[in-house]
Amino acid sequence: MSTTFPRVTETFDCVRCGLTVTTFGPDGERRHHCPACLHSRHVLDQAEGGPSECRAAMTPISIAAPRDGGWRVIHRCTRCGQLASAPVHADDNRLILVRMAVRPLAQPPFPLETLGNL
Amino acid sequence: MGSVTVMPRRKPGRNRPQRPKPSLHAPGADAFRCAHCRLDVPLAAPGTAHRNHCPHCLTSLHLDRDVPGDRRAACGGRMRPISLTTRPDGEWLIIHECAACGTLSANRIAGDDNPLPLIRLALRPLTTPHLLASDPRLSPGSAFPGIPS
């Protein structure tokens, strides 16, 4: 990557939907995933630290809401199964985010109506 | 331990048997003690061969690395549940985050897991809508997007 251009012009292609995405989001933070489909690429080794040689696509599987604010997306690598988390950006696809957040409640493993009797 | 009430579960039949998990607890032990709430937890869990978290507070320990029961993680830290995800067949998995090293891991819920912390975990993104509340397109303070409070 040439250093003569400002960093704001850097882009990457989404590993799943092929969208050309600016590397830095509107808030100046470096993106970890495509804002349209929320998929990511496995380039960081979470267990060992440092770069990963996997480079497979990582699918978003859930939303974590830490106490100190900010939603985080949990990704799972489709090839090696490693999990990673990344903060949500302001222009991420709201439909996919909310769909992931409510997905467990759509198919509860126990009848939710019995919770009202407790 | 007192009587444990197991709620009925809506789970489809499993078509593949789980791989056995070698018991690497103390020899002869049939229970372990939760690192968080100190509950005595029996090793046998209904619905799963891989008991890895406390059914009461859902806390786990960072012991396994790749395969359940391999005991190859050198960390040993406490793992707190941070979120829930589902498999395509609707089964729930708890995502744990190690408090010591930040590693994430996923584990299926067991048949005797406490439903209240499970539901609280499932609702946590909806009750803390930090991102959605900051969206100017949505009404501020609304717990649910698009629905005015």
pLDDT in tens, A26-76: 878 889 999 999 999 999 988 778 898 999 999 999 999 988 778 899 999
Q: Distance between CA atoms of B79 and B105, rounded to whole angstroms?
A: 9
Q: Is the pLDDT of residue B4 over 70?
A: no
Question: Can you name the residues that pair with B80 across neighbouring β-strands?
Answer: B97
Q: Is residue B111 part of a domain?
A: yes
What is the predicted ipTM? Answer: 0.85
The answer to whether residue B113 is domain-embedded is: yes
Q: How far is C-alpha B1 from the geometric centre of its chain's CA atoms?
A: 21
Single out the residue of B56, B118, B48 nearest to residue B86, CA to CA: B118
Is B14 inside any structural domain?
Answer: no
Nearest CA in chain A to B143: A98
Residue B16 lies in a domain: no
Residue A13 C-alpha, separation from nearest chain B C-alpha, in angstroms = 25
Task: Give the amino acid at A81.
Answer: G
Given A98, A107, A110, which is nearest B7 (Cβ)?
A: A110
> How many separate domains does chain B show?
1
Residue contact A63–B130, C-beta within 8 A:
no
Domain-located, residue B9: no
Pairing of strands A83-87, A20-22: unpaired
Q: Are B39 and B33 in contact (CB under 8 A)?
A: yes
Chain-chain contact of A105 with B85 (C-beta, under 8 angstroms) = no
User: Which residues, in sequence order, are CB contacts of B136 under 8 Å at separation 6+?
Assistant: none
Query: Hey, which residues does B95 pair with through a beta bridge?
Result: B83, B106
Higher-confidence residue of A30 and B18: namely A30
Supply the range of the domain harboring residue B66.
Answer: 31-133
In chain A, where the domains are located = 7-102
**B15 domain-assigned:** no
CA distance B15 to A78: 22
Residue A23: strand, helix, or coil: coil
B52: in domain: yes
> Residue B120, Cα to own-chain centre: how many angstroms?
12
Helix (H) or strand (E) holding A102: helix A94-106
Nearest to A57 by CA among A26, A86, A34: A34
List the single residue in A70, A83, A114 with the smallest CB-CB distance to B7. A114
Q: How confident is the model at residue B23 (pLDDT cuts 50, 70, 90)?
A: low
- The answer to whether residue B117 sits within a structural domain is yes
Average per-residue pLDDT in chain B? 79
